[in-house]
């Protein structure tokens, strides 16, 4: 609670002058939370990362991730249900791709952030 009191009493805090902006609706935050839950599983995140910038079939994804066809299919089902991937039939093969550039950017930013060197809690301790 000490941190909260300091922020409230801090004369440099400009919270009263924050720009006006519309908060996202509950429907929008619910949808975004479902995206993050779907991407929150490391195995599903690996599938999405493999699909970045390309289209792959289930067997290609299984080979790249080292997972079974049934596991990859299940992961793709969840990702597709949440609107993160699309599929296209080509004869007997079904090719999967990321829904759009937003999904690609979201995953790329998350992975980039995870690879950065972060001093945990360094700002909280000052």
**How do the pLDDT tens digits run along the chain, 126 residues long?**
455 555 555 556 666 666 678 999 999 999 999 999 999 999 999 999 999 999 999 999 999 999 999 999 999 999 999 999 999 999 998 999 999 999 999 999 999 999 998 776 555 554
In a domain, 22, yes or no: no
In a domain, 21, yes or no: no
In a domain, 57, yes or no: yes
Q: Domains in the chain: how many in total?
A: 1
In a domain, 33, yes or no: no
Is residue 93 helix, strand or coil? Answer: strand
For tokens 């009493």, the residue is 9
- What pTM was estimated for this model as a whole? 0.75
In a domain, 110, yes or no: yes
| Domain encompassing residue 57 | 38-115
């Amino acid at each position: 609670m000490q941190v909260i009191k300091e922020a409230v009493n801090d004369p440099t805090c400009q919270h009263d002058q924050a720009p006006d902006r519309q908060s996202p609706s509950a429907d929008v935050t619910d949808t975004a939370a479902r995206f993050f839950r779907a991407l929150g599983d490391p195995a599903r995140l690996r599938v999405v990362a493999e699909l970045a910038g390309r289209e792959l079939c289930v067997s290609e994804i299984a080979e790249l991730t080292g997972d079974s066809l049934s596991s990859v299919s299940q992961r793709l089902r969840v990702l597709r249900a949440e609107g993160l991937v699309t599929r296209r039939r080509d004869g007997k093969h079904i090719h999967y791709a990321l829904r759009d550039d937003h999904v690609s950017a979201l995953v790329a930013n998350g992975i980039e952030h995870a690879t950065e060197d972060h001093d945990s809690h360094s700002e909280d301790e000052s």
